Structure 1
Amino acid sequence: MYWSAVSAFLVVLGASSNDLTQRELQAWKKVEPSIIYLMDGQSVRGTAALIDEKGFFLAHKTALEGSKVSGRWANGSKVSLTLVATDDPTQFVLLKANDWQSGSAPAISLSPADSSDRALLAITSNGPVRAERVANTYGVINPSRRFMPLSEVRMENNLNSLGGALLFNINGQFVGALNATLESPGIQNAYQNQMRGGAIRQSNDLNSRQAPVQIFGPGTMTTAYTISPKVMKRVIDGFKSDSHEVAHPAIGIFCRDAAPTGALIEIVSEGSTADKAGLRKGDVITSMNNVPVKNQFDFARIMLDAEVGDILTVWIKRSGLMQMIKVPVGK
């Protein structure tokens, strides 16, 4: 029974990789030793990548059900894992392989934070498939409702196999994992219209600057999103730390658009760095670090570029008067 299940498992992966180009196959061979398939009985639920040779794996939360996880390497051999940490803002999880021997497999390497590689490889529950990054944008990650920089990715594949799929560039470097997926232009447009008032407000179309890297066939195109390489690095660095905690920059306030311009502070969390620095509900932020803040999204973008420990120079309007306040970035 076990060997028949393993054989079927290997056939599925082989069928997927048969559609790849020689360069894509080379990338797959480079990353395959670092990938495990997360199982639900005899079915593949998702994928995980080794980020630390001590046996720590990264996966997307959608690939898990419970804190005890079983997985298989591409050759069919089994591995058991335990959930160690969850990063709620990005929905990534950290898993630890049980009875792990250091050096059993190579850890993945991470794509540079400023990377804009277009040709990608998505490691889905059905194996590797071709993908293409077409734009950089901003959006809200559900269910955390956190504003994040995102990359828009397109591929020709069954939507059901893409949830939490890991993304690598053609050099075999880790790029991210797929979050929300959109199967058709109609759905995509509806999603963007819905989010335009609260999430996706800016897009940097890579097609306008680079020649296409791939021609897809006549199958259904799927659009999906992954967080940016910079945020991905922050997640992995946090997971690999002694605390396994990801330090996302924050100052402890929630804003909405002010009229006619600026970001109006609606909530100041008690004990936060903003609270201690003197920011108050009703203040209107007009600039941060000499960058104009015209709305809540400008504020969010500046915060995303900050690092924990930075000191922000925040100009606010309070009772009609301008005031400058120095605010440390917390987490």
Structure 2
Amino acid sequence: MSFLAASLLVAQQLLVQERGLGGNTLQPNSPYQNAAWASVVDALAVLPDINGKPFGVAVLIDDRGYFVAHSSSLVYEPLVAKMSGGAEVKLGRIGYDKETQLVLFGAHNWEPGKRQPVRVAPQVKPGELMVATVKGPVRGMLTSDNRPGLFLPSQRFVPLAEIQFETKDVPVGGAIVFDNSGGLVGILGAILKPDHPNQGDDFGNPMGGTGGNAQPAKNAFGPQGLTVAYALGPKILNRVVEGFKRDDHQVEHPSVGLFFKDGPGPGQVVVDEVTPGSPCALAGVKADDLIMAANDVPVGNSIDLAALLFGLEPGSQLELLIFRAGRRITVSMTVGVNKD
């Protein structure tokens, strides 16, 4: 089973022009994407580097002047960002989610009602997407909405959306991904590269992924080569956005108090440790239990299980099928909140 190791993409170049982002604004390839771009361009802000040159992108998520960007798009703070029409807005950090490295900014002297915030899409399906880069929109294709991946530096395995798009010498780190109706479906904070784990490593010591540049996809898509990138899907992204909108700007990620590793045989995941007082402990899960399935989904390896658990919502129900002392046992619990 392959997984994804993250590496940051730096040195982004862009210019802000009237009603667009980029000196030579790229045009979408369909009327749907033209309409989607028109509906979201006023919610995008260009972030400068230390020399005042354009570097990254943030997106408006709330009419109170809340913007979200990936930390890889930031060089210094606070900063003055530029929006469509040449408008400038001063942004200061008011929140941060270390699990996803997404940053929440508040705009100084923001006037509500002037620009329409984006909405997070309820779901994303394989098919065409619009990648809003620093030079404008680029046509993309969602090829998978549930690829387990390793998010650095948090060392968290998460479910990711795999996106392919035609390479046109366009930097995409920090790019914002939308569906063709203008719904927010992801933020490309990093270019991620498929890799293969070493045998015998466990979940507590993530397997030796290598960073680096995105790799060209092998299958054909359009007239040019492909870049493959990965983003948090709308389910996790919506969790972060809703947390950022709270008065305390805190994001609630799930926790069940379970530490595990790959077992000696294929398709085996073994419980390594259970946190006292955690949902798993209260449900009766014990060290050395073999986890066979989670919510009726067969467990392939520790990476798959970790990504599945991170996709759960606090307060939801989790059912584990475990094997202990020659018996199959089903345990149920309510997913808790990660307090770290």
Q: Which has the higher contact order (CA 8 A, sep 6+)?
A: 2
Q: What residue number does 2:274 align with?
A: 268
Summarize the alignment of residues 1-331 of structure 1 with structure 2, pairs less than 5 Å apart: 9-10=16-17, 13-18=22-27, 20-40=29-49, 41-113=51-123, 115-136=124-145, 137-157=147-167, 161-181=171-191, 191-194=194-197, 216-218=222-224, 220-260=225-265, 261-318=267-324, 322-331=328-337
Classify the secondary structure of the residue corresponding to 2:238.
helix
Deviations 1:19-48 (A, max 9, x none): 654443222111011111111233211111
Return the letter of the residue paired with 1:57: F
Unaligned runs of 5+ in 1: 1-6, 183-187, 201-211
Count residues with an aligned counterpart: 304
Deviations 1:239-281 (A, max 9, x none): 1122322222221222112234532122333543334444333
Deviations 1:65-115 (A, max 9, x none): 3441321112222111111211222221111111112222111022222x2
Return the letter of the residue paired with 1:242: D
Unaligned runs of 5+ in 2: 1-13, 202-206, 210-218
Determine which structure has the larger helix proportion and give its number: 1
Classify the secondary structure of the residue corresponding to 2:196.
helix
How far apart in 2 are the matches of 1:317 and 1:193? Answer: 28
CA drift at 1:224: 0.7
Return the letter of the residue paired with 1:144: S
Q: What residue number does 2:9 align with?
A: none
Q: Is the CA contact (8 Å cut-off) linking 2:16 and 2:46 kept in structure 1?
A: no
Deviations 1:168-207 (A, max 9, x none): 112111111114426xxxxx5xx4335898599xxxxxxx
TM-score, normalization by structure 2: 0.78
Cα distance change, pair 292–162 in 1 and its aligned pair in 2 (3 A): closer
Determine what percentage of the aligned residue pairs are the same residue.
Answer: 31
Cα distance change, pair 323–22 in 1 and its aligned pair in 2 (3 A): closer
CA drift at 1:282: 2.6
Q: Is the CA contact (8 Å cut-off) linking 1:159 and 1:181 kept in structure 2?
A: no
How far apart in 1 are the matches of 2:326 and 2:31? Answer: 64
Classify the secondary structure of the residue corresponding to 1:16.
coil
Deviations 1:128-165 (A, max 9, x none): 22222223322111221222221211223366721110
After TM superposition, the structure 1 stretch with the greater mean CA deviation from structure 2, 223-232 or 292-301, is: 292-301
TM-score, normalization by structure 1: 0.80
Cα distance change, pair 266–66 in 1 and its aligned pair in 2 (3 A): farther
Return the letter of the residue paired with 1:30: S
Return the letter of the residue paired with 1:280: K
How far apart in 2 are the matches of 1:120 and 1:76? Answer: 26
Q: What residue number does 1:205 align with?
A: none
Q: Is the CA contact (8 Å cut-off) linking 1:179 and 1:224 kept in structure 2?
A: no
Q: Is the CA contact (8 Å cut-off) linking 1:147 and 1:199 kept in structure 2?
A: no
Q: Is the CA contact (8 Å cut-off) linking 2:23 and 2:135 kept in structure 1?
A: no
